[in-house]
Amino acid sequence: MSDHIVPLERFHDARRILEGRIHRTPILSSSTAARVLAARGIHVADGRIYAKAEHLQKAGSFKIRGALNKMAALSEAERSAGVITLSAGNHAQGVALAAHEAGVHAVVMMPAGAVRSKVDACRGYGAEVILHGEQIGQTWARMEEVQAERGLTFVPPFDDPWVVAGQGTVGLEILDDLPDVDVVVAGIGGGALCTGTAAAIKETRPGVRVYGVEPARSNAMSLAMERGEIVRIQPASVADGLGSPFAGEWTLAMAQRYLDGIVLLDDATIVAGVRFALERMKQLVEPAGAAALAAVLFGKVPIRDGERVCVVFSGGNVETGRLGELLAGAAPLDVPAAVD
């Protein structure tokens, strides 16, 4: 693997490793979403917007894919020593579950304000959870200290070829179920899901366009793309799953090669995607998972008449006790009355 580009065969290797160990998540669809676009003058193929339902994946998000693939690559010495990671929640849960299945002790570093349900889930999978820092950057610094103190192996949330290959199996499955897809849209934080999915798809079907969606105030990848180098930020968004403090060397290189563009959304627009998914598709999707849908609904993604469009519902780990408060902040969206 040269120049920080994960080759196509690694995605297929990851798929074989994951076979029978994760859910084969379905492709959902919404004619109501298509009617929202039709009101904007865009008529998509099949009269539907499609959605890869990774919010129905084990541990509630796509993250288990990369975690399992990385765990399979560890040496016996690394497995015996244990692993450590950090995350606002979904990667933490993926690593916790993957480590549990592999019989490996996992230490999970999370910000002090991490969603309580995600913290509880990590502990439920048997991980040791350490809460530290108001910002993810502070969490990262403490994680490095704990790793050195205990001799643990770091399982990166995104900047690792094994993790990227695991997440990119989402793209292979989209091509299986929608071989004639034209546009794929996914949220982008650190970038493993979006860039891995883009690579797996475009190395197989180069004509497919793939777009990433970032929160406007958590735009580490956009800044890195603009400047051609990694930029550190202080992420601030309701979409905590997209709140990476920086892009990675692997994911930046992959984004530069494979992405057709990155869309920036404010929080109210992202939450409108959550609301649409819940009210019109009867799916509970977290803000990070609904960002791609929101970008399509609000006309932020270039789509041509007759194109087949698929968004990725990347996660569904929502703190239900705060759901009403969350939805109250949604931007208004004109939606036809019909329900799927």
User: Which domain does 118 fall in, by range?
Assistant: 63-154
220 and 117 belong to one structural domain: no
**How far apart are the C-alpha atoms of 159 and 157, rounded to whole Å?**
7
Nearest Cα residue to 248 out of 195, 307, 320: 195
Angle CA 159–121–141, to nearest 5: 40
CATH code of the domain in which 88 resides: 3.40.50.1100
**Longest CA span, the chain:** 59
Contact 62/170 with Cβ under 8 angstroms?
Answer: yes
At residue 101, the 3 state secondary structure works out as helix
Q: What is the pLDDT along the chain (340 residues), one digit of tens a residue?
A: 558 999 999 999 999 999 999 999 999 999 999 999 999 999 999 999 999 999 999 999 999 999 999 999 999 999 999 999 988 778 999 999 999 998 999 999 998 988 788 889 999 999 999 999 987 778 889 999 999 999 999 999 999 999 999 999 999 999 999 999 999 999 999 999 999 999 999 999 999 999 999 999 999 999 999 999 999 998 899 998 898 889 999 999 999 999 999 999 999 999 999 999 999 999 999 999 999 999 999 999 999 999 999 999 999 988 888 899 999 999 999 887 664 4
- Name the catalytic one among 58, 63, 118, 202: 63
Cα(285)–Cα(55) distance, integer angstroms = 6
Q: Give the whole-angstrom CA distance, residue 315 versus residue 91.
A: 10
Look at the chain and report how many structural domains it folds into: 2
Domain C-terminal end among 125, 154, 183? 154
The C-alpha atoms of residue 37 and residue 60 are separated, in whole angstroms, by 28
CB atoms under 10 Å from CB of 253, counted, come to 17
333 inside domain: no
Nearest of 50, 66, 54 to residue 23 by alpha carbon: 54
Which of 93, 128, 154 terminates a domain? The answer is 154
Does 63 participate in catalysis according to the annotation? yes
CB-based burial label for 149 (10 Å; 0-12, 13-18, 19+): exposed
Tokens 């006309």 found at: 299
pTM: predicted TM-score of the whole model, two decimal places:
0.94
